[in-house]
Structure 1
Amino acid sequence: MTVAFLFGALGALALVTRTGCTDNANGLGSDGVPELDYTDVDLGLTQRGPHFDIAYSKNVTALVGKTAQLNCRVHDLGNRTVSWIRHRDIHLLTSGRMTYTSDQRFISVHNPHTEDWILKIRFPQRRDSGIYECQVGTTPPIGHRMFLSVVEPLTTILGGPELFINTGSTINLTCVVQHSPEPPPTIRWTHSDEEINYDSPRGGVSVITEKGETTTSHLLVQRAKAPDSGRYTCAPANANPRSVLVHVLSGEHPAAMQHGGQLRLQYPLSAALLSVIVTLMGC
């Protein structure tokens, strides 16, 4: 009876707070200004249970073969258990710090001084892409789903696998890196398996790289000669390398030859800009 009376009194207090103890049908205060309509009064009686911090529990894009981590941040966890479930086959992967799968690539990581529960996947493959759920053992359980996308960056050299060019023309090789979660930190160019030296006595060799969602690297070799023939390889730091075989010819005109030494570009850096750069370098 006492508890019922207490809640009844609190309800009446909330009602008084909303109405101001007035019989005001039009919602106007004594000064004629509309009163605020308090649709919810927090009396401090609600206890918050475990809840997810969405800002720190996001979808992840990872590279094939590079360790992937899905992070789940849970506030006010208390003594509940956090589990990770793979939706593809509704498979319980981990519970707490324990692993419940024979696939030892999956590991649960938790630092007791944080609220983060991490599912670590070693050597991920494209088949590992899909929905993973971080679940808290409340009654009923609550969960937050995240999508893991495992991608393999694609490297291409435009015009390959073979290019033919006249002696004295400019070799213009364009390497394109796509589907990478982040731009490659570096892109190495090699000629016949030796890294190209842009400061060599030969001169006239330069590289121009544009990083972005699609990264392009342009290798320019001016005044091509027979020794410039051979295999050129573009090797991004976070993607597979790609090669092209270049033939520097005298007087022959194969159908696949670059016209005037310039390959038509399909990516952001325009052919006109490259032509200007080549001209300036030749001065």
Structure 2
Amino acid sequence: MTLKNVAMIVNKEKVRAYNLGRQLVTYCKEHSLEPALLPADAAFLGYPEYGMSLQELKQWSNLVISLGGDGTLLGAARLFAPAGVPVLGINLGHLGFLTAAEPEHLEQMFLDLIAGRCSLQERNLLKARIQRRGQVVGEYLALNDVVITKSAFARIQVICYIGNEYLATYRGDGVIVATATGSTAYSLSAGGPIVSPALGCLIITPICAHALGARSLVISGRESFEASVVANKGEAMLTVDGQEVYPLEKGDKVQVMLAEERVKFICLPGQEFYRALRTRLQDSCFKLPEETIVEY
């Protein structure tokens, strides 16, 4: 992997983002790497001369470093996956299940990168399409999940198909369609299975369905999920990785499948999936209450 032009995405709301961001820029310059940031992030760190538009960053960078939590990494992955630029995350959030390094290991992370002590891992993306009265009104990419969900006080019906074959009608709070990567996110909280990220599949998990037999279903990545929404305008929405929200109307059809694009993650020593599963997820519910407030 060529490592010369390093783009940085900074979550400016994180307390440690300013100092660590400036430290990253210093490390880049010390190792003859060229740093660049979005104009707002560059101004925030006090390096306006390193500002560059998003389109320029996509074409210019060999690596993207996200400085924030899993949410920051999800956003960076969706932005840079179509350009094929690898992403590496530094955790300033709570769980940091997808991120590669903790702030206290920043210097060692850089040394590993420079020495080539890292690997490239590809993860699947979802492609979601909304059809309204026969017209496609939106297409979106997601790394973790696409969720058909309700507004605060509504209950909705989601009529689900796998390809052209009817699956079920879920009455409740909605349906999650997740990648294997997203199996440790919202789908897990809703009772879905944990799936190795090496598998190309879709995980369909109903949310609070009013049925005793409603369970998650794992389908092949060669299949597609389709759903019709039964809800009044304003009662249902589609969310992408929990970050982007698109309103749905009665009769809208949602199609979800694996995308052709894939995300490239930089993996450092000690970042193996099962190690992260053992050390990050297992302990999260046993921390003191003040330690479990999630910030994205």
Shorter chain as denominator, the TM-score bin is under 0.3
Considering fraction of residues, name the structure with more helix: 2
TM-score (norm: length of structure 2): 0.25
Q: Higher relative contact order at CA 8 Å, sep ≥6: structure 1 or structure 2?
A: 2
Structure number with bigger Rg: 1
